[in-house]
Amino acid sequence: ETPEWEPGITMTERESLTLRPRYCLQCVGSQPVSAPGNGGFAASLQAGNLTVFAGDLLLPGLPVQLDFHFQLGPHSSAHWHGLLTDGKLFLDTPRGALDQNNRESLTATLEYVEEQTAVNLVFVNFQPARSDCGALLRAFSYLGFEVVRPDHPSLPPWQDVIFMVYPLARDCCPELE
C-alpha cells in the first residue's frame, strides 16, 4: 500500500541529494559567514531560543542547507542540520535527541518549518547502529512520524540510515472554510 504522502521524485533531484548536510560554521565555533556565494550561512530568523541559519542557494533545484540551533541554556544548544529541497526537509537526528530540552528543539524546529516554509514533508534520519535507535523509533512514532522503507524513491541515496517522515498538515484551500 502506498502512503498518501508519497510524492514522485526526479532523478536529478535524487542525484542532488547525494551529499549529507554538512556541519555548519556555528557548530565548530566560527563566526557565521554570510557573504553570498561563498557557501557560508546567514542567520535568517531568531525567535525565542531558536536561530535558523540558511546556506546559499547555489543553483535552482539544488538542496539548501538549513541549520536549526536551539539555545538550551547559557552554554549549550541543540543543533538540527538539514537539507531543504522541493517541499521536503531532511534532518539529521543529533545525539541526545531524546533529552527533554532536545525534544523542545525539535518542536521549535517543526513549528518554524510549518509556519515559515513551504515544506510538506519532514524526514528525520539516524543510523540503525545508534544505541538509542529503538527509543528514537518509539519517540518519533509517538510524535506522528512514520518509518519509510529504505528503497523508497523519495529518499536520498544515503547508506545505513533509517528515515522517518512527518507529513505537515497544510490547508490546501483556506478560502473555502
Domain boundaries, the chain: 11-168
What average pLDDT is seen over the chain? 76
State the residue for C-alpha cell 505537515.
Answer: 168
Exposure letters 79-104 (e unless 16+ CB within 10 A, then b): bbbbbbbbebbbbbbbeebeeeebee
Say whether 36 sits in a helix, a strand or coil. coil
State the DSSP code for 117. Answer: S
- Report the C-alpha gap between 4 and 65 in whole angstroms: 26
Q: Kindly report, residue by residue over 101-140, the tens digit of the pLDDT.
A: 678 888 889 998 998 888 999 999 999 999 999 999 999 9
CB 52 within 8 A of CB 67: yes
Q: Residues near 43 by Cβ (< 8 Å), separated by ≥ 6?
A: 32, 34, 51, 52, 53
Give me the amino acid identity at 24: C
CA dihedral 3, 66, 161, 12 (to 10 degrees): 70
Higher-confidence position of 16 and 124: 124
Q: What is the CATH number of domain 11-168?
A: 3.40.630.60
Q: Kindly report, residue by residue over 146-168, the tens digit of the pLDDT.
A: 999 998 888 988 889 999 999 99
Output the pTM of the full model.
Answer: 0.76
User: C-alpha grid cell for residue 144?
Assistant: 506522528
What does the pLDDT read at residue 163?
Answer: 96
